[in-house]
Amino acid sequence: MTLTTVNVALGPRSYDIVIGTGALSATAERLTGIIGKGQPAIIADEKVWGLHKDALLAVTGDVPVITVPSGEASKSFASYERVMEALLAADLGRDGTIIAFGGGVVGDLAGFCAATLKRGCQFVQVPTTLLAQVDSSVGGKTAINSAAGKNLVGAFYQPKLVIIDTDLLKTLPERELKAGYAEVLKYGLLGDEVFFGWLETAYKDILELDPLAVTRAIETSCREKARLVAADEQEASVRALLNLGHTFGHAIEAEAGYGGDVLHGEGVAIGMAMAFRYSTALGRCPGQDTGRVEAHLKSAGMPASLADHPGAKGTAEALLSWMGQDKKNVGGRLKLILARGIGDTYITDDVDPDHLLSFLKQEPGIQPS
């Protein structure tokens, strides 16, 4: 299959996303050129490393490797300290290159290490989950979590290259694949009703990793993200649309803890359905569009409410408290991404906390106060 290239146009920080089967081996010469004479190192998810290390080492040769446990808990201050000390011990300098090999957790952690190691070294993303391939590997958001919430300590720091090899998805567990599909679905919901309509018919092929379907889904998602990032690199305006469902979803994740009870994509799936339901409750989104979103999530075997997920929990007050700590909030005002319909979303900080609390109390699966 021919590889597809999507460019993220950011002037001197521009870079390519290379997508397709065999993309890792096909970009070997390009990756070697980026590394140059500096010291490279790999930061990898330990499970991914066990499954796919030969594919990456065939390209990089023998380089230092630092593995981290799978799961959101690895985006911690403790992991950051351990990985940074290992990078310094490996003598990485500003001309060094960190290669992130894993899902969104590894990409976020490795990117933050790259942003802060000696005030910045090179960084290449090799995402191995569908979620990371369509979302977190693109756009330069890097972060770790804190006790106060998710992704609250981080930096905008762009990679030099993103290599999306769809062959790496073949070992991905079904639950992780569906969690990643939530981020694919997001691009249809936030601004492309035609894409959403295609997903309604093609989702089974995507989840079965049909090469043509999965490549189209990834390419379409990356092109839309690249467009929004190029227009608003540091999320001062339109890039915030990419957070559709995330304010609700991050609250659900935080309340469940970061032990894997609720995967990021699962929280986003519930959060997107909640955003549409809340938009309908405000009289701003047709109920049939919200019903269509819920129906598609359930057809794809994904949760549309807390009641659909055994690990999701929380009172309305607890979720609202987590939402109040969201990094998008400005001046103490809660910022949400809401919908006028499928493919038509908008950013608002005109949210009445009391009204939102009343809405949350009516949500399926919400625990009594």
Residues of each annotated binding site for NAD(+): 70-75, 104-108, 128-129, 141, 150
List the one residue out of 357, 183, 356, 367 whose CA is nearest residue 268.
Answer: 183
For helices 193-207 and 287-299, angle between their N-to-C axes, nearest 10 degrees = 10
Query: Which residues contribute to the annotated binding site?
Result: 70-75, 104-108, 128-129, 141, 150, 183, 246, 264
| CA dist list (Å): 185 to 20, 31, 123, 216, 294 | 20, 30, 28, 13, 12
Cα torsion through 214, 218, 220, 221, rounded to 10: 140
Choosing from 52, 160, 216, 250, which is the catalytic residue?
Answer: 250
Is 29 an annotated catalytic residue?
no
Annotated binding site for Zn(2+): 183, 246, 264
Structure tokens at 100: 């992130």
Q: Among the options 186, 243, 313, 335, which is catalytic?
A: 243
Active site includes 294?
A: no
- Specify the amino acid at residue 120: G
Catalytic residue among 223, 225, 292, 313: 225
Helix crossing, 211-231 with 193-207: angle to 10°? 140
Instruction: State whether the Cα torsion 99-89-78-144 is positive or negative.
Output: negative
Residue 223 a catalytic site member: no
What share of residues in the chain are helix, strand, coil (percent, to 5)?
55, 20, 30
Which residue of the set 52, 141, 223, 313 is catalytic?
Answer: 141
176 catalytic per annotation: no
- Catalytic residue at 141? yes
- Which is nearest to 172 in space by CA: 202, 201, 214, 113? 214
Query: Would you give the DSSP letter of residue 330?
Result: B
Instruction: Tell me the CB-side half-sphere exposure of residue 340, using CA atoms within 13 A.
Output: 8
Count of helix runs (H) and strand runs (E) in the chain: 14, 11
Q: Which residues contact 60 (CB under 8 A, 6 or more apart)?
A: 31, 35, 40, 42, 99
Quick check: is 216 catalytic?
no
Question: Can 239 be counted among the known catalytic residues?
Answer: yes
In the numeric block, the tokens 């959403």 are attached to: 196
Tokens representing 36? 């140059």
One of 178, 216, 246, 313 is an active-site residue; which one?
246
Query: How far apart, in Å, are the Cα atoms of 264 and each of 131, 183, 361?
Result: 9, 10, 22
Catalytic pick among 52, 239, 327, 328: 239
Distance CA 174, CA 56 (A): 23
Whether 37 is catalytic is: no
Catalytic residues: 119, 141, 183, 225, 235, 239, 243, 246, 250, 264
